[in-house]
Chain A
Amino acid sequence: MTPEDRYEYVKGGVALAILGTLVLYLYVDSLYRGDTDTAAYNTIDDCLKDNKFGADDCKSSFEIASAEHLKDAPSYDKREDCEEEFGDGRCEQTSPGHVTGGGHFSPYLSGYLIGQSEKMVNGVYYPAVPASALYESRHVPGFVDSRGIFVTNKAGGFKMAHQSAALYKPPAPTTTLARSGFGARGFAAS
């Protein structure tokens, strides 16, 4: 089954129809999405001094970042591999709460990203920024997140590009609290 012979009679065929759809999607995406204002700081004090965010924001984002760090910090089997990436003396052993079960090596938490909820302002959609643990790699200026994705090149406020991969948290293993909350039988789709 090929697109070419599927839909002979329609003017121009399927390829054109799909292209048209994609062009529309790209147009809409670029038109309605904005870059979200946020900031990266090394410490809560730096955040408070900068006066861009309230004390609550400074602290709650740090707490989320710290929790993420304990669980999801980049981890290496060998200390030297960790130090090669993050610098000599800048790595520690992971605790049992880490997703890998602990006993490996992770960089120190060196900063955090201030979380922002998603907003719609004047018809422009500003995606949410997740509060995140940040790390300083020897090989990348500025900060990367726990997945090694580049976030910003220096501490302080910045606009997070709406296309940035750092905005998206992957479907990593999490803790399932419950199942069987959907799916009562006795219905048929139509």
Chain B
Amino acid sequence: MKRIATGERPGWIQKVEALDFTIHHMYGELYWDERNAYQFTLAQIEDDLEDPTNEILQLCYTAVDRICADPALMTRMAIPAEFHEAILRSWKWSDRDIYGRFDLRYDGKGPARLFEFNADTPTSLFESAVVQWEWLQDMKRLGRLKADTDQFNSIHEQLIGAFQHFKNTSDSGVFHFGCITDNEEDYLTTKYLADVAFQAGFEVVLLDMEEIGIDPENWFTDLEDRRMENLFKLYPLEFMVHQDFGVHLISTPTKIHEPLWKMTLSNKGLLPVLWEMAPNHPNLLPAYFADDPQALRLENAVRKPLLSREGANVTLTLEGTTVAVDGEYGAEGYVVQEACLLPQFGDDYAVVGSWVVAGEACGICIREDKSPITQNLSRFVPHFIMD
């Protein structure tokens, strides 16, 4: 794993905008960053990232089994009691999940270590699946990368396969998508998934979360008063359960994606559960609930809220130095994980996002940040495979 100064392509902004990728800058800063690219060997991809990702995912599925069957543990993870049974039901009936992204600490040498699992509402999907891929093709056309250069990236094909499965079992042939439409990043991710569903044969409808309605039989409805057979929402389940329509999630016949059982994975409480199930697993870091006495033994530790996003309320203590990010999370409790600093390339800390779609590892993305805690100003940097 090396960072190579591959250099920006002339006219790169027009090129990515031609793909409808409008968020190359966000919050006034560069987001799509092709000044550099990360080079991996095939062995690094297959042995250090792809295989461990699949292994961690299987561990996660075992963890769901464990968490769903233990109401006390779900309570400890701040999952409201009135949803416990519905979560178990959605798991037992095999409501399928679509996708997720593991954030891994990897430096090209030792084993990849799991930082956390974005199991419910991961973004940066479109840039991983499409923009990054088109960058590689263009770099090859321009002769800046060799013709046999590759990329760990079958995200798009896996997504189409997943939606084709839903299509095969769909009666209505319609798939609804909800998000906060005025958040450009969320909208772009959701629009991409809707496009994938369309390619898989669905009629698709995209609407704002606030536009979702409810009918007398607990079906969620769209603006034309049509019942939704399937609803993908790029909006956290842990927020939805506390909102006005949250109670309808328990009994709605509408299939929600991601399904309710993903609340057991989209929660930092997963980290101590995994560590307890597979202590000393090479791809895991020691982790405990904050009220566990063993948590105190970790000298170098990261404290993370059970529910938080984009690094909010994370505190990193390493050799006496503390780095903290503000935020509004943390009321539900914390976990403590052994600190393991991200590798630095130049002045930047890089985290590897490892994508899983329909139960398979299928691609990666790299995000760089000036801070060792990756936040929403992190930059997306493409990668390629070349031995």
Given contacts A22-B161, A25-B165, contact A10 B154 (CB under 8 A): yes
Query: What's the least CB distance linking A19 to chain B, in Å?
Result: 9
Which segment of A49-57, A74-82, A153-161, A170-178 sits at the interface?
A170-178
Query: What's the least CB distance linking A29 to chain B, in Å?
Result: 8
Question: Smallest CB-CB separation from B385: which chain A residue?
Answer: A9
Chain B residues, CB < 8 A from A32: 94
The reply to whether the CB of B58 lies closer than 8 angstroms to some CB of chain A is no
Chain A residues, CB < 8 A from B248: 181
Which segment of A85-93, A100-108, A132-140, A182-190 sits at the interface?
A182-190
Contact of A190 among B121, B214, B240 (CB under 8 A): B121
A1-22 vs B, Cβ < 8 Å mask (1 yes, 0 no): 1010011111000100110011
B172-193 vs A, Cβ < 8 Å mask (1 yes, 0 no): 1010001110010110010000
Separation of A3 and B121 alpha carbons in the complex (Å): 26
Chain A residues, CB < 8 A from B272: none
Question: Smallest CB-CB separation from A181: which chain B residue?
Answer: B245
Question: Judging by beta carbons under 8 Å apart, are B157 and A179 in contact?
Answer: no
Chain B residues, CB < 8 A from A17: 154, 157-158, 161, 360
Question: Judging by beta carbons under 8 Å apart, are B244 and A181 in contact?
Answer: yes
Given contacts A182-B209, A190-B309, contact A172 B226 (CB under 8 A): yes
Question: Judging by beta carbons under 8 Å apart, are B123 and A18 in contact?
Answer: no
Residues facing A in B121-149 (CB within 8 A) are 121-123, 130, 133-134, 137
B226-253 vs A, Cβ < 8 Å mask (1 yes, 0 no): 1111000111100110011110100000
**B side interface size, CB within 8 A:** 72
Chain A residues, CB < 8 A from B383: none
Question: Judging by beta carbons under 8 Å apart, are B216 and A171 in contact?
Answer: no
The reply to whether the CB of A121 lies closer than 8 angstroms to some CB of chain B is no
Contact of A188 among B93, B150, B171, B186 (CB under 8 A): B186
Question: Judging by beta carbons under 8 Å apart, are B226 and A177 in contact?
Answer: no
Separation of A17 and B385 alpha carbons in the complex (Å): 20
**A side interface size, CB within 8 A:** 41
Query: What's the least CB distance linking A120 to chain B, in Å?
Result: 7
Question: Judging by beta carbons under 8 Å apart, are B226 and A171 in contact?
Answer: yes
Chain A residues, CB < 8 A from B134: 1
The reply to whether the CB of B298 lies closer than 8 angstroms to some CB of chain A is no
Separation of A29 and B96 alpha carbons in the complex (Å): 12
B74-100 vs A, Cβ < 8 Å mask (1 yes, 0 no): 000000000000000000111000000
Contact of A183 among B93, B123, B180 (CB under 8 A): B180
Chain A residues, CB < 8 A from B228: 171
Separation of A22 and B189 alpha carbons in the complex (Å): 25
Chain A residues, CB < 8 A from B164: 18, 22
Question: Smallest CB-CB separation from B130: which chain A residue?
Answer: A1
Question: Smallest CB-CB separation from A168: which chain B residue?
Answer: B171
The reply to whether the CB of B56 lies closer than 8 angstroms to some CB of chain A is no
Task: List B residues at the A interface (Cβ < 8 Å).
Answer: 42, 45, 92-94, 118, 121-123, 130, 133-134, 137, 150, 153-154, 156-158, 160-162, 164-165, 168-169, 171-172, 174, 178-180, 183, 185-186, 189, 208-217, 219, 221, 224-229, 233-236, 239-240, 243-246, 248, 309-310, 358-360, 376, 385
21 contacts between A and B (CB under 8 A): A9-B385, A10-B154, A14-B158, A17-B157, A171-B227, A173-B226, A174-B215, A174-B225, A178-B245, A179-B213, A181-B245, A182-B235, A182-B244, A187-B180, A187-B236, A188-B310, A189-B123, A189-B186, A189-B189, A189-B235, A190-B118
